[in-house]
Chains A and B, each alone.
Chain A
């Protein structure tokens, strides 16, 4: 098992290194850092001095190692556009994104598994079929249209919920949260629904398919023969065995959650990392782009390791 974990940690490190190389190349080769920092009135001597001071005369591997070292300490330089340290920008916006992503993951998981089990048990029911049709629409609509549709219904037409921003947030140390105020909680609802919807439909369809399969296996029939209540069979025996593929897919889908978070944050003007990244792309703010890229790679690596740990918790056979 240790070897198994070590492998996933190693893989994560490899991804971070590769992405680091891309991020570093962006720094180095897109645009001219010296020209950007020195300004128009710099003399050739100034430029040469700045080139030396930035370490741009060092060999490529040395520069790359320095970049990685700085990145490990959270130092990504200064944003070209906002003239502030990138690490400050990231720290400021991280809580908004994490709150959104975690809440929508919980939402998607709870309702996805719930609906999935329901649709599998009442396979021919009207409600179950309605859920399946809605999920099909959810898969084929682009995220931003779902967000706009929700805004139109709940913010413009019904006027129940705010359509943009985080509302009032409470500051706890460096962390900000919208969960402690009413306007903050209200502002979370639509973005969480939008971001969670795709995941929800995916988990639901998967749980349903897996459940249908498991309910046909020998051990479920055997459990019935032993007189175990149906509900207990469904949740203790069958559901647990459907969870391994579900966790795999949820882990693999994390990438799309990040992608959909970019879109969701833009639709709802959510002050998170995704919106920051889109702005950075629009204005070619390379340090912010590079930092976001490294952040995504880090999240990937961590989620991979956590997914592997969850496997072991779900499936005791992996412990040996």
Chain B
């Protein structure tokens, strides 16, 4: 069954499958291999992430370096050569002669970075609060869960808009542009933590009654160390699923905020900003300026979502 290979260190003495072979043989990996949708979605996600990470090497121009732009190339349709520079614009050029293909890759990078950063932020916040609520209990639990209730009854976009507005008011106007990335991350992160907190609290309540937690407490571990090194590893399963789905949501939320004009400025655009800019040219027939960023956004969100769907089913013991 398992691929038998001697471990590198040789200390164990017994035959033990390598980490990779064990991972390859696990239930999850099997379920992954046999689901074409999951493989496809993961493949597309990874390709997009790599392409955005190395955007500087695989794009014909740096779309936000004004020196490389040629105004004469403006509104070049997809696949044609620009009137100014003569280079071919595979996905067309916008009003300033910016290559849409390059702009989309750079924009996707901003979108994905904000998505990832805000997901990590809300995960860290939600998991810590959920652990504390579940483990400590009492008034602290009641307070945290009440806040989570109020938060969950308000739509994420509304919360993010509000946080963004407040941050704008608190930060000096001259710093607005540099701080937008951080503000967006915090605004989106703060609008999504409650779900983690609820889930982690529920599993913590179950885990903390188990004997291994009592044992850890009896041998004198402090509450913090019990929480982090004993309870936490046992409540991570569902968190992973929420985080995947949340990543797609965060990317879409960022796009929506930027589309509303309450997000990334045109100097460091995300996909939402590109769509917002492209909307101006919808009526005059330059459809490529809006179509391709929209397709990129939908592809990213859809592939992450499909992967998340598979992960949810794969980690759900009831469906095994």
* A interface residues (Cβ-Cβ under 8 A, vs B): 15, 18-19, 26, 30-31, 140-145, 148, 151-152, 156, 163, 252, 255-256, 258-259, 262-263, 266, 277-278, 280-282, 284, 286, 289, 293, 296, 300
Question: Quick check: B256 and A30 within 8 Å, CB to CB?
Answer: no
- Known contacts A151-B282, A284-B165, A286-B169; is-contact A145 B153 (Cβ 8 Å): no
In the complex, are the beta carbons of B282 and A278 less than 8 A apart? no
Judge whether A148 and B294 touch: CB under 8 Å. yes
B67 at the interface (CB under 8 A from A): no
Known contacts A148-B290, A259-B158; decide if A281 and B165 are in contact (CB<8 Å).
yes
Give the tally of cross-chain contacts (CB within 8 A).
Answer: 89
For A148, the chain B residues whose CB sits under 8 A away are: 275, 279, 282, 290, 294
Number of B residues, CB within 8 Å of A: 34
Q: Which 3 pairs across A and B sit closest by C-beta, in order of nearness?
A: A259-B155, A30-B169, A281-B165
Asked whether, in the complex, the Cβ of A258 is within 8 Å of the Cβ of B282, the reply is no
Interface contact B262-A296, CB-CB below 8 Å: no
The reply to whether A145 and B294 contact each other, CB–CB distance below 8 Å, is yes
- Is the CB–CB distance between B157 and A263 below 8 Å? yes
**Minimal beta-carbon separation of B273 from chain A (angstroms):** 12
B168 touches A284 (CB 8 A): yes
Q: Does B66 sit within 8 A of A, measured CB to CB?
A: no
- Minimum Cβ distance to chain B for residue A129 (Å): 18
Q: Does A142 lie within 8 Å of B252, measured CB to CB? A: yes
Q: Is the CB of A300 within 8 A of B153?
A: yes
Residues of A within 8 A of B260 (CB): 144, 262-263, 266, 278
Q: Is there an interface contact between B261 and A255, defined as CB atoms closer than 8 Å?
A: no
* Chain A residues near B188 (CB-CB < 8 A): none
Which of B71-79, B124-132, B295-303 lines the interface with chain A? B295-303
- Smallest CB gap from B157: residue in A: A259
Residues of the A chain whose Cβ atoms lie less than 8 Å from the Cβ of B101: none
| Residue of A whose beta carbon sits closest to that of B305 | A140
B150 touches A278 (CB 8 A): no
The residues of A that contact B294 with a CB separation of less than 8 Å are: 145, 148
B156 touches A259 (CB 8 A): yes
Closest chain B residue to A15, Cβ basis = B150
Whether A281 and B157, one on each chain, are in contact in the complex, defined by CB atoms closer than 8 angstroms, is no
Residue from B256, B287, B305 within 8 A of A263 (CB atoms): B256
Give the chain B neighbours of A143 by CB distance below 8 A. Answer: 256
- Pick the contact of A142: B158, B165, B255, B279 (CB < 8 A): B255
Q: List 28 A-B contacts (CB under 8 A).
A: A15-B153, A26-B166, A26-B169, A30-B169, A140-B301, A140-B302, A142-B252, A142-B301, A145-B294, A148-B290, A148-B294, A151-B282, A152-B282, A252-B153, A255-B153, A255-B155, A256-B155, A258-B155, A259-B155, A263-B157, A263-B260, A266-B259, A278-B260, A278-B262, A281-B164, A281-B262, A293-B162, A296-B154
